[in-house]
A and B are shown apart, each in its own frame.
Chain A
Amino acid sequence: MRANTWAGRNKVEVRDVPDPKILNSRDAIVRITSTAICGSDLHLVDGYVPTMQDGDVMGHEFMGEVIEVGPSVSAERLRVGDRVVVPFPIACGACAACAAELYSCCENSNPNAGIAEKMFGHPVAGIFGYSHLTGGFAGGQAQYARVPFADVGPLKIESELTDEQVLFLSDILPTGYMGAEMCDIRPTDVVAVWGAGPVGQFAMDSARVLGAAQVIAIDKEPYRLRMAAEAGHTPVNFEEVDVRSRLLELTGGRGPDKCIDAVGMEASHGSAHIHAYDRIKQAVRSETERPHALRQAILSCRSGGVVSVIGVYGGFLDKFPAGAWMNRSLTLRTGQCHVQRYMKPLLERIERGEFDPTRIITHTLPLDEAERGFEMFKNKQDNCEKVVLKP
């Protein structure tokens, strides 16, 4: 089959690789009809997630048709021919983490848990196409994928919704939603979201669906801010204004009640020399993150507020504003999304018209043009917000 693979730092390559086969009895094989490129893929391509290997099949946002199921997958749960969206964390459904609906912390789905434990103190779940630290599972930017624990994760789509309407249930819609949910939003809340990428856009929409009084979008890409403004959110361009002053102005001096970091470890900074400080430390690997958005969110947040982190961090960061966090009673909440927890309720919200996930799709390309898709998405060319690939 054809598959988009990691080919070293800053390089992806669509190659011929073997077709996947059933390896465990609870596996299914899915013929992929739609798949997407995610901001998380950029961290892999940019070389900030260790344990990637040449030839790793990328991609963790995919859906398609079940063409084979392992002997332990019951027919009530999944059959050949079912149309499914696959959540990016691989989860067994039986461990204590899964029982607590903390699917991205599943204790059984990562064969390389010992390595992850060394990095993170405790292991994390397997994830499709997301390094060997999270298991070494081939991803979904491909014609076919093997889906472990297929009796737990995949969500059957039985209505007539298009791929484009449901594909993002695999990751970014639940991720944005979880980002907003962790904020415990009240009707009087002003919610500020750092990052107007796909994840940020869905965090903003979710904050509104959950009842926020106002949602503020912070980014530097005018077209992404325009997209947020068209959806009813208030844009702030961090290259044009001082973010903290603008936020104070927008909130009567209080600061946003809730702040969401939808940027992660590769943030850029309005001030060139601070950006350079972290960029150099990151380049020489003495710091693994460039945490400008997170620092700014903590410093901007109203006392007693919540800072919800859905942007991805991988290692250690410098100059964490612990003083602001501690002395002003802030709550910091975070996680890789527990996608399985949100898929069904969010599907219902899509069916009811509360979310239009298609609003962020700017490019649809054949899988063979994945390299061009990465290029555009990474370099913000051609107003690229979200790329869907068709195998």
Chain B
Amino acid sequence: MELTAVTTIRKPAPEVYAFWRDLENLPTFMAHLEAVRATGDRTSHWVAGAPFGQNVEWDAEIVDETPAEKIGWRSTGKADVPNAGTVRFVPAPDGVSTEVHVVLTYEIPGGTLGKAVAKYFGEEPHQQLDDDLRRLKQVLEAGEVVRSDGAPWGKRARAEFPQRPAQPLSDDELAKGADR
């Protein structure tokens, strides 16, 4: 499965590139990621969260890179869900913003894991990636992922529809946090 998405962020390309290049930042805006840990200059270890099924982890390496312009990576070894991605950072015509063009590819396996991944992406799989890029934009332009009473847990907003009412959270709900 190949997913593409694009957004424009009102920050210069080197800054957007630098944020993405620090791969440990990816889980702040990518809904399916729990954690990414750099294990070397070009290598990293990725952990996907519950929506992808439990315990989906893989190693990845950067295979293609031009600073401030492009990063390409792919999973290595025997990943449960082999995947690869590229992101290009293109200066926008306004002279201050950067277009972020992302392509992700997944080799969806058979069995329950494949089903869980397919379910996560749903009928319109690119939506997940669209939402990821919206959150990237929020983080870079506005400082963090925006939270509302109806969608208090940021990354899960769309999955939670219909949402909790637009009414302040109780102390209990807040304490429990996103992992109810």
| A and B: bona fide binding partners | yes
Minimum CB distance partner of B174 in chain A: A21
What 9 pairs across the A-B complex have the smallest Cβ distances?
A136-B150, A55-B165, A92-B142, A111-B151, A20-B168, A56-B166, A23-B147, A94-B141, A136-B166
Report if A149 contacts B (CB, 8 A).
yes
Does B22 sit at the interface, judged by CB under 8 A? no
Contact between B174 and A53, CB atoms less than 8 A apart: no
* Interface flag for B97 (CB, 8 Å): yes
Measured CA separation A132–B160 after assembly (Å): 11
Further pairs besides A25-B144, A51-B162, A57-B149: 18, Cβ < 8 Å: A3-B167, A18-B170, A18-B171, A21-B169, A23-B147, A56-B165, A107-B137, A107-B141, A108-B146, A109-B142, A111-B147, A112-B158, A112-B163, A126-B148, A132-B150, A135-B151, A136-B151, A138-B149
Please give the number of chain B residues whose Cβ is less than 8 angstroms from any Cβ of chain A in the complex. 36
How far is the CB of B99 from the nearest CB of chain A, in Å? 12
Q: Which residue of A lies closest to B162 (CB)?
A: A53
**A108-B138 in contact given A24-B144, A53-B150 (Cβ < 8 Å):** yes
Output the residue of A20, A135, A139 with the most chain B CB within 10 A: A135
Given A53-B165, A136-B163: A111 touches B154 (CB 8 Å cut-off): yes
Instruction: Confirm or deny: B152 has a beta carbon within 8 angstroms of a beta carbon on chain A.
Output: yes
Most chain A CB atoms below 10 A, which of B97, B134, B154, B168:
B168
In the assembled complex, 8 residue pairs joining A and B whose CB atoms fall closer than 8 Å, in A order, are: A55-B165, A55-B166, A99-B10, A111-B146, A115-B158, A132-B150, A135-B150, A136-B163
Which among A3, A51, A94, A136 is the interface contact of B142 at CB below 8 angstroms?
A94
Do B148 and A136 touch (CB < 8 A)?
yes
Take A107-B137, A114-B131, A126-B148 as given contacts and tell me if A26 and B143 are in contact as well, using a CB distance cutoff of 8 Å.
yes
Q: Give the interface SS of chain A, mostly helix, strand, loop or mixed.
A: loop
B8 within 8 A of A: yes
Question: B166, A96: Cβ atoms under 8 Å?
Answer: no
Query: Which of A57, A108, A114, A129 neighbours the largest number of chain B CB atoms within 10 Å of its CB?
Result: A108
Q: Is A300 an interface residue (CB 8 A)?
A: no
Does B127 belong to the interface (CB within 8 Å)?
yes
Taking the complex as formed, is B130 at the interface, i.e. its CB lies under 8 A from any CB of chain A?
A: yes
User: A208 interface residue, CB < 8 Å from B?
Assistant: no
With a cutoff of 8 Å between Cβ atoms, the chain A residues found around residue B157 in the complex are 111-112, 114
Partner of A136, one of B130, B138, B149, B170: B149
CA distance A19 to B151 in the complex (A): 17
How far apart are A168's CB and chain B's nearest CB, in angstroms? 23
Q: In whole angstroms, what is the CA distance A134 to B171 when docked?
A: 25
Chain A residues contacting B143 (CB-CB under 8 Å) are 25-26, 72
> What total count of A-B pairs have CB within 8 Å?
135
Partner of B167, one of A55, A93, A149: A55
Judge if B94 is at the interface, Cβ distance under 8 Å: yes
Q: How large is the interface on A (under 10, 10 to 19, 20 to 34, 35 or more residues)?
A: 35 or more
Choose from A5, A93, A114, A137 the contact partner of B150 (Cβ within 8 Å): A137
Is A23 in contact with B152, judged by CB distance below 8 angstroms? yes
Instruction: List residues of chain B with CB within 8 A of the CB of A139.
Output: 166
Question: With an 8 A cutoff between CB atoms, is A17 at the interface?
Answer: yes
List residues of A (57-99) whose CB comes within 8 Å of B's CBs: 57, 72, 92-96, 99
How far in angstroms is the closest Cβ of chain B from A126? 7
Distance between Cα atoms of A23 and B94 in the complex (Å): 33
Whole-angstrom distance from the CB of B169 to the nearest CB of chain A?
A: 6
Closest B-chain residue to A109, C-beta based?
B146
Residues of B near A17 (CB, < 8 A) are 167-168
* Interface presence of A113 (CB below 8 A): yes
In the complex, the chain B residue whose C-beta lies closest to that of A110 is B146
Most A CB contacts (10 A, CB to CB) among B127, B165, B166, B169 go to: B166
Which residues in A have their C-beta under 8 angstroms from that of B137? 95, 107-108
| A60 CB, min distance to chain B CBs, angstroms | 11
A23 to B148, CA, bound (A): 8
Chain A residue numbers with a CB within 8 Å of B150 are: 53, 56, 111-112, 132, 135-137
Contacts of A51 in B (CB 8 A): 162
